[in-house]
Amino acid sequence: MLLLFPLVVSALLFSIGVYGVLARRNAVLVLMGVELMLNAVNLNLVAFDTYLRDVVHSGQVLTLFVIAVAAAELGLGLAIVLMIFRSHQHIDIDRLRELSDSDAADEAIARDHQIWTGVAGGER
C-alpha cells in the first residue's frame, strides 16, 4: 500500500479539525474539532510505525498514549465547559469575553451582567 494513502487522509482530517476549532461557536463542538486533529495524528503514528517496522512499536504505543491523554483532556475540558454553562447559561465561545481587553468587550460584559441580574430579580 502506498504510504501516501494514510498520510493524505490524516492531513485532510487535521485540516477539517482546524476548521472545526476555528469556526464552531459551541464549546463542545470545538472539542470535537480537537478530537479530529488528535485522531489525524494517531493515524500518522500508526502508518509510520507499520512503514518503519519499529521493533519497539513506538508508533502504536504512542497512539495509545495519545488516546489516553485525549481522554484526560476531554474529561477536564468538558468539566470546564459545564462550569461555564452553570455560571453563564450558555457555552457560546463568541460571547465569553471576560478575558478580553477591549472596550467593546467591557460593554458586552456589562450588558450581559445587567440582563442576567434583571432576569434573576424577576424570578424572585
Partner 1 sequence: MSAVEVLFALLGLVAVGSALLVVTTARLVHAALWLVVTLGALAGCYLLLAAEFVAWVQVLIYVGAVVVLLLFALMLTRAPTAAEAGTVTANRPLAAGLAVLVAAALVSSLVAGFRDVRIDLDDSVVGSAETTGEALFTSWVLPFEVLSVLLLAALVGAIVLSRSTRGGGR
d(CA 79, CA 95): 19
Task: Output DSSP code: residue 99.
Answer: T
Pick from 28, 41, 108, 109: which binds partner 1 (CB under 8 A)?
A: 28
CB-CB contact of 36 with 16 (8 Å): yes
Which range of residues in 27-35, 97-105, 108-116 is near partner 1 by CB under 8 A? 27-35
Q: Angle of helix 4-23 relative to helix 27-52, nearest 10 degrees? A: 160
d(CA 42, CA 67): 8
Which range of residues in 14-22, 96-104, 111-119 is near partner 1 by CB under 8 A? 14-22
Amino acid at 36: L
Q: Cβ of 106: how many Cβ atoms within 10 Å?
A: 13
**Residue 108 within binding range of partner 1, rule CB under 8 A:** no
**Which residues ranging from 74 to 103 are in contact with partner 1 (CB under 8 A)?**
74-76, 78-83, 85, 91, 93-94
Task: Indicate the residue among 34 and 109 with the shorter CB distance to partner 1.
Answer: 34
Cell reading at 54: 519499529
Note the residues at the interface with partner 1 (CB under 8 A).
Answer: 1-9, 11-20, 22-26, 28-29, 31-33, 35-36, 39, 42-43, 46-47, 49-51, 53, 56-58, 60-61, 63-65, 67-76, 78-83, 85, 91, 93-94
